[in-house]
Structure 1
Amino acid sequence: YWGGDLQGVIDKLDYLQSFGISAIWTTPLFEQVRSMTVGDTPRAPIHGYWTSDFKRINPRWMNDPSEKRLFDRDDTVFDTLLNTLHERGMKFVLDVVCNHSSPQTSEGKGKLYDDGKLVADFDNDVDHWYHHYGETVDWSDEWQVQNCELAGLATFNENNVLFRNYIKESIALWIRKGVDALRIDTVKHMPLWFWQEFNADMNVVNPNLFRFGEWIYNRPDDPTSVEYANKAGMSLLDFAWCTAVRRCLAQGDEGGFQLIQEVLDQDGNYLGATELVTFFENHDMPRFQSLGGSNEAMDLALVLLLTSRGVPCLYYGCEQYLHDDTDGGDDPYNRPMLEKWEPTEASRRIGILAKERKINQALQWGGQWPKWVDAESYVFLRRYRSSYCLVFLNRGEERTLNVENLDFPDGEHRCLITGQTVQIENGATEVTLPPMGVLVLTKRGRKVKATTVIRIQVNGAPTQPGDRLAVIGDCEELGRWDLRNAYELTCVNSNTWFGEIPLEASAGKVIGYKFVLLPADPNSPPRRENRAVRRHLVIPEGTAKWRDRWEE
């Protein structure tokens, strides 16, 4: 713990907004144990992950200790933080730990309270709130990972409905308080069925609540973590993308940008790859620059992060090139106090690209299509409907690239970062990139606007290159089953198509629809799904997301 509290966060919101930050994720705020751990190297429980009471806030972060009973009042510093964020159009992400409470300390192990009342004690577990199988020994054994202890932490027994009701009731209180999203710790240590139940209940509290979990070092070629991402009802932090970027840009791995594209080539394994949360450093690993990355490499990594598919997450201080390399930059030196607040090249780039992400739908919804990939340089296109973003990155020596088949509008385009102009003719261009050079070219299309906009996603359609996918239905906006007026979707990756359907006449009504595949070969007939018509109630106004799978 290096200092700071929630009032300090409020005081720095102007700074954060100055370079486009739109949401804040803090480590857990719950009241936690206060005594030191026992053993040869005692540790202090300041980080927030050793909760003692999920229905109270840690008074350390508040202006007055009486504010810890957060849900009996609406005048705490946390209320002020939420209100101030929302007034500014910003969001708050609450970090949640459902897997465990606390390790052995001088005051016991795993003592859990319900708004001040003791409900569970690992050493006197009469109601079986905890597992008692000892430490995890074999990390390849899924049963041990889900039932045994992680680093001596008292592990909750998710089979006990008393625990499940308690944790869901507790988190629901925070959501009703105004929390906008959840980051959920150590998700692989609890079974999939628990998360399905948990997320279903959180959806009832707030159907628009975004949730993403930490499955440490998940990969798209790991069936277990992919199954979680596809079936748990939440997204994941994209550790495979993170690892590839660190190897490419911080450590200078000879695989270079090809390492990153190898990860993205497997996006079709996911049902929602564009919702994975991307990052390249966090509080559990040495910072990017502690691995050897220069300021220029950080600048390059930030452009990659903010233009790639996924939801980008920045670790505080990256905009100031913050790092402390003591002991290799590992815990606690990866979490130093931020002491500089002036504009930098990093914060300039973040601000430019954060603004672009808000107005360019290619960066929000589009797929990521490689146009040039080798170890030293990377060119990719983001595209959605009539919106585009074309990115050139170079980590090596100055070089000239001749790139064709860009699928980007012809004409003269100006880079958002450098101001350099680039001429594209017949879908091709020649550019010279300096060392650590970047070019970001954009073209913004019109946003879909209507009384109600349905964001519809379908996975598993048996399309081939050149095929199109569309929605037909019984309402005016979907053509009344006339294929000539079907609403076409955009391909995101090999497994996902996406579109935004504007609804006026059908807002607030029940509509029926199906998907239809339109082959590239004009002599081939359309191919409709072989299933009964889907029926959905359209919300009266606003936006909603529907997720479907193609059915034969």
Structure 2
Amino acid sequence: MKYWWAEAAVIMSLLVRSTCAASADDWTKRAIYQVMTDRFAIGNGSSPNCDTSKRAYCGGNWQGIIGELDYIQNMGFDAVWISPVVENVQGQTTEGEAYHGYWPQNINALNSNFGSADDLKSLSKALHDRGMYLMVDVVVNHLVANPTNTTNVFPETFDYSQLQPFGGQNSFHTQCFISDYNNQTDVEQCWLGDAGLPLLDLDTENSTVVSTMYNWVKNLVSEYSIDGLRVDTAKHIRQDFWPDFTSNAGVYTVGEVLIGNVTYAAPYTNGLSSVLDYPTYYAVYNAFVNGTSGNISAIAEMVTQAQNQYNHGTFTLIVKNAMTWPFINDGIPILYYGQEQGYQGGNDPANREALWSSGFNEDNKPLLTHVKTLNAARKQAISANSNFLTTKTTFITQQDSTTLAVSKPPFLTLLTNVGSASGSSAKWSVPSDAKVFSGGETLVDVLTCDTYLWTIITASTISLLSQSVLAASAEDWTKRSIYQVRHRRRISSQLRHECMPKYCGGSWQGIINKLDCIQNMGFDAVWISTIAENVQGGIAVGSEAYHGYWMDLSNALHQRGMYLMVDIVVTSLTAPTISNSFRLFPTAAIRWIKFFPRVSHLGLQQSDRRRAMPARGFQFITSYSGCQRINSTVVSTLST
């Protein structure tokens, strides 16, 4: 018995409230690609070396993003989140240059390192021409100016005239650095940063400051046709500031509330359209990054708590096992640039690599392919199920502490943190009373599209067994030559048989023994007869009882670089022995014969069915949309 191997990756999540800005419904259908403008792409196509340790500008700009929109859109993303666009503190500071955009100095001017006003408008138009959205990061909490005194005098003095449009000390809270994060007054009115680089905290209790910020965000959104805002350091401003801010912006707002406490974070959705779901992020990080020592059940606990706390529990999360999570869970998936290229990241500044060093290569990039598949699957789920975006995620309890089964129709997702070490395995069980499936539904693995789940007689629960299999596309198959065998008649373990229409001793082990012969003839794919239980003398008989363990054949073929094709008759039999049970078989392709109507065919022999129901040809799956089945339930596996 084989199982899926688990891997890991990193991604972010959102929690969305039920009463949002006007465009919230549109945003929930989107998938967001986050770029750091200075590190994504350069408009002239150059690719200079970028040493992240220097914390300096490397040359990325808005024209560079325009030039690589094909790259972003080809992955399935339809929204782009860019760095803050306003003018930042100039030159070197104790923490390097403000290449990231989070040290604003003049909110009425643009950051000239990223381009001109026309460039930003061109980016907005280029996105909209493609039907994509523009999200801009904004910093409302603070501005930055270098201290004018250098003798460690406290409080420090600054040239407030640099800080536009405010220009006076009375627009800022009195200097004090946050010392107690359990004290909300400290969090909201004291300063971030340190004496070397203080972030001057705007006095958002000051009515002039408040009206200035409200007017600024309204003009910014209007001038550059912005579709959504990500709001930096939202928890450092009083909560009752945010409703009118969102109203004046008139677009979807996503707040950064950096804390692992759901109860603390949830109220911010009363003023902002959504918040980044850091509470569940930490649970997923601990579950997957810490491997088998992580507590995967904590994800379910945190999600359930969040659904009870937030006005509308919609969000997504991180870490390649967990990379699937944001696309099948509640909320809007966000991918941080470079993840798809396998960038290692780390703490600041290591997580701010230049993407142009990858050449924007899309070949032989398993994570990029993974993301593309997940985006396609999510869009298909939205299209197929009108309730997908509003149905809450539910968890199906597993006895194995390293596994988690997650239901969000039409998705069933299987998570594990067992890792990819030799001998690692995982098994999931979905009881029939979980009401995840209906009898006769076909389940499709959206990550490979060549692994299927279908109805088998026996058992009273749905067991989902994992297997990492060869992902064979239509293009792969066109290069193959197929050798067809009927194992029950043609090849036995010892010799060939000529026999009447009955079981004559052929087996999967017999095929294994003859693989040299098949391969020496130049064939690199084998098409075998159906492996499901068949009717013999009016009694349901398991194929394994006659032919041995077919998984041995699957493994033997894949070890030789050969493909396995399985003949399958999908029936809806009505007999006392039939129940809602499913098995997962790792096949490179399946030959569909025909779907029988929901009537008994127990009286037909296999040979009669083949003559009565001729083959419709081959259907090879290359993408999720290609393997869609009407009214099907989708299985999302978590490894490649």
With structure 2 as the length reference, what TM-score do the two structures score? 0.56
- Determine helix, strand or coil for the equivalent of 1:380: strand
Q: Please tell me the residue identity of whatever aligns with 1:9.
A: I
What is the distance in 2 between the residues matched to 1:377 and 1:245? 13
Contact 1:31 1:57 survives alignment (8 Å): yes
Find 2:111's aligned residue among 35, 58, 72.
58
Contact 1:395 1:436 survives alignment (8 Å): no
Q: Please tell me the residue identity of whatever aligns with 1:402.
A: S
CA offsets 1:422-476 (integer angstroms, 9 cap, x no match)? 12579942222248999xxxxxxxxxxxxxxxxxxxxxxxxxxxxxxxxxxxxxx
How big is the shift at 1:98? Answer: 0.8
What is the distance in 2 between the residues matched to 1:354 and 1:215? 26
How big is the shift at 1:9? Answer: 0.7
Structure having the higher strand fraction is 1
What is the distance in 2 between the residues matched to 1:268 and 1:254? 28
How big is the shift at 1:403? Answer: 1.8
What is the distance in 1 between the residues matched to 2:292 and 2:285? 9
Compared with structure 1, are the counterparts of its residues 106 and 190 closer, same or farther at alpha carbon in structure 2 (3 Å cutoff)? same
CA offsets 1:150-206 (integer angstroms, 9 cap, x no match)? 11210001122221122121111221121000100111111111112212322xxx3
Q: Is 1:260 paired with 2:286?
A: no
What is the distance in 2 between the residues matched to 1:424 and 1:380? 21
Compared with structure 1, are the counterparts of its residues 253 and 149 closer, same or farther at alpha carbon in structure 2 (3 Å cutoff)? farther
Aligned-CA RMSD value: 2.6
What is the distance in 1 between the residues matched to 2:291 and 2:243? 40
Q: Is 1:393 paired with 2:418?
A: no
- Determine helix, strand or coil for the equivalent of 2:143: coil
Compared with structure 1, are the counterparts of its residues 379 and 305 closer, same or farther at alpha carbon in structure 2 (3 Å cutoff)? same
Partner of 2:338: 317
CA offsets 1:115-168 (integer angstroms, 9 cap, x no match)? xxx5434xx52xx21101411111211111111111121000112222112212
* Percent of paired sites with the same residue: 24
Find 2:77's aligned residue among 5, 17, 21.
21
Partner of 1:7: 63
- Determine helix, strand or coil for the equivalent of 1:409: coil
Partner of 2:237: 190
Compared with structure 1, are the counterparts of its residues 348 and 261 closer, same or farther at alpha carbon in structure 2 (3 Å cutoff)? same
What is the distance in 1 between the residues matched to 2:470 and 2:405? 12
What is the distance in 1 between the residues matched to 2:142 and 2:162? 13
Compared with structure 1, are the counterparts of its residues 49 and 401 closer, same or farther at alpha carbon in structure 2 (3 Å cutoff)? closer
Contact 2:108 2:165 survives alignment (8 Å): no
CA offsets 1:382-408 (integer angstroms, 9 cap, x no match)? 13xxxx111122332223333212422
Partner of 2:312: 272
Tell me which structure has the larger Cα radius of gyration: 2
Find 2:246's aligned residue among 186, 199, 211.
199
Partner of 1:409: 438
- Higher relative contact order at CA 8 Å, sep ≥6: structure 1 or structure 2? 2
Listed as ranges, the gaps of 5+ residues in structure 1 are: 71-75, 281-287, 289-297, 439-552
The residue correspondences of 1:55-94 to structure 2 (distance < 5 A) are: 55-62=108-115, 67=116, 70=117, 76-94=118-136
What is the distance in 2 between the residues matched to 1:321 and 1:97? 29
The residue correspondences of 1:301-316 to structure 2 (distance < 5 A) are: 301-316=322-337
What is the distance in 2 between the residues matched to 1:88 and 1:42? 38
Partner of 2:475: none
Find 2:183's aligned residue among 141, 147, 155.
141
Listed as ranges, the gaps of 5+ residues in structure 2 are: 1-56, 150-156, 419-423, 472-640
Contact 1:357 1:363 survives alignment (8 Å): no
Contact 1:23 1:93 survives alignment (8 Å): yes
Contact 1:136 1:144 survives alignment (8 Å): yes
Q: Matched residue pairs, number?
A: 382
Contact 1:52 1:111 survives alignment (8 Å): no
What is the distance in 1 between the residues matched to 2:103 and 2:271? 24
What is the distance in 2 between the residues matched to 1:110 and 1:259? 49
Partner of 1:468: none
What is the distance in 2 between the residues matched to 1:35 and 1:158? 28
Contact 1:394 1:435 survives alignment (8 Å): no
What is the distance in 1 between the residues matched to 2:470 and 2:397? 15
Partner of 1:330: 347
Q: Please tell me the residue identity of whatever aligns with 2:211.
A: N
With structure 1 as the length reference, what TM-score do the two structures score? 0.65
How big is the shift at 1:336? Answer: 0.8
What is the distance in 1 between the residues matched to 2:415 and 2:470? 6
Partner of 1:248: 287
- Determine helix, strand or coil for the equivalent of 1:367: coil
Contact 1:52 1:110 survives alignment (8 Å): no
Compared with structure 1, are the counterparts of its residues 321 and 156 closer, same or farther at alpha carbon in structure 2 (3 Å cutoff)? same
What is the distance in 2 between the residues matched to 1:147 and 1:106? 22
* Greater mean alpha carbon deviation, residues 396-405 or residues 159-168: 396-405
Find 2:366's aligned residue among 345, 351, 360.
345
Partner of 1:529: none
How big is the shift at 1:53? Answer: 1.8
